[in-house]
Amino acid sequence: MTTGTIDAAAAGSWRLGDLTVNRIGLGAMRLTTNADGGPSDRQRAIAVLRRAVELGVNHVDTAAFYFSSLRSANELINTALSPYPEDLVIVTKVGPGKDPSGGWLPMARPDQLRGQVEENLRQLGRDHLDVVNLRVYGPEPLTEHFGALAELRDAGLIRHLGVSAIRPQQLAEAQAVAPVVCVQNSYGLGYRAGQDELVRECAAQGIAFVPFFSLATSGREAGASGAEHDEVRAVAAAHGVTPAQVRLAWTLHQGPNVLAIPGTGNPDHVAQNVAAGALRLSPTDLARLDALHRAG
């Protein structure tokens, strides 16, 4: 991988409705907490956000329920980036919630979603949200919940809608209510290969597929385990990059509609993640990694 100017635009772009974003973005969940579970360093988290934007990131994923004992992702985003760049797209999600102590609350009722949307607006300091994903838990019909968000879109509080953590059949349920610009599901190299068909279905419909946990995979909120497969290490060594960069590049190679939103609390890792958008894997690399993915 050649070195040079690091720019998120090197990964290419995709449209979320009428909003164009670079395909390598930033997830805000890891801004609030250190690896040991303690609150993050505030200035370091702010530096991560500003560094990402300096490197061309214009897609930030967040949620009002991304908070720790002393940190709120939305507040950090507001402090670091407001007044917001004109091309910055902030994507948030509703459905789940937490009480003030951080304990998870039951899935919000449809009539409670407006309050969640307004909480994101207050924290971010905005009068509308660019994209709101309905985060789904379980196979239950989502029509009423998505319909409530569609009403908020019609009222001007939301520009575009997406869905998160869905089963494949739930995409059609949502599409029957209102246009869907993105699907955000957990997915990565060797992790949840059953999602491959949904990735292709989204591409056929012009819908962005936005995987989360693409680096942490089965580590989920706890983060990556630190262990890595020999095949990933071999490809990384051949290109002179890190295994995490190979994983991000593989993710982006899954289709032009796939957007990556790796999260980090380290400004140096932001640059590495963005640089992965310029990594071009060879057919041989992809064959090796695809075999690993299917085996996973």
Cβ neighbours of residue 162 under 8 Å, at least 6 residues apart? 16, 91, 131, 132, 133, 134, 180, 181, 182, 183, 184, 208, 210
In the DSSP assignment, the letter for residue 138 is: S
Show the tokens assigned to 243. Answer: 């295994």
* Three-state secondary-structure class, residue 91: strand
Distance CA 162, CA 129 (A): 12
ω into 110 cis (within 30 of 0): no
Do 181 and 199 contact (CB within 8 A), yes or no? no
Burial 188-215 (b: 16+ CB within 10 A, else e): bbbbbbebeebbeebbeeebbbbbbbbb
66 is catalytic: yes
78/84 Cα distance (integer angstroms):
8
Active-site residue, selected from the candidate residues 66, 84, 137, 191: 66
Give the closest residue to 26 by CA, choosing from 64, 44, 53, 66: 53
d(Cα 247, Cα 216) in Å, to the nearest integer?
10
**Catalytic positions:** 66
